């Protein structure tokens, strides 16, 4: 699914060269990263809804990963304390 964005800032690189206000079409994953990073905004309501849902999914995955890392660190600390 391609998402149409309007750039909020300029970006340039080997495969992209856009300035503020330029239209840019990309896949949902990149669109979500760009919107979340404040680089762009969705150009239409359908795209905006898809991007919002993807961002929510990304944030849920990050929260789960952070929780798992905290649990692992707590278990490691508990094991280290038990060895003393």
What pLDDT, on a 0 to 100 scale, did the predictor assign at position 1? 86
| Enclosing H/E stretch for 56 | helix 45-83
Rounded Cα–Cα distance for residues 62 and 40 (Å): 21
What pLDDT, on a 0 to 100 scale, did the predictor assign at position 79? 85
Report pLDDT digits (tens) over 2-60: 999 999 999 999 988 999 999 999 999 999 999 999 999 999 999 999 999 999 999 99
* Confidence category of residue 84, pLDDT binned at 50, 70, 90: low
pTM of the predicted model as reported, rounded to 2 decimal places: 0.79
Q: Give CA angle at 50 (48, 54), nearest 5°.
A: 115
């Amino acid at each position: 699914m391609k998402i149409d964005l309007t750039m909020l800032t300029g970006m340039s690189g080997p495969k992209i060269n856009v300035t503020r206000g330029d239209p840019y079409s990309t896949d949902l994953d990149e669109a979500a990263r760009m919107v979340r990073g404040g680089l762009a905004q969705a150009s239409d309501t359908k795209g905006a809804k898809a991007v919002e849902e993807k961002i929510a999914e990304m944030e849920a995955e990050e929260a789960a990963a952070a929780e798992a890392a905290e649990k692992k660190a707590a278990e490691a600390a508990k094991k280290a304390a038990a060895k003393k």
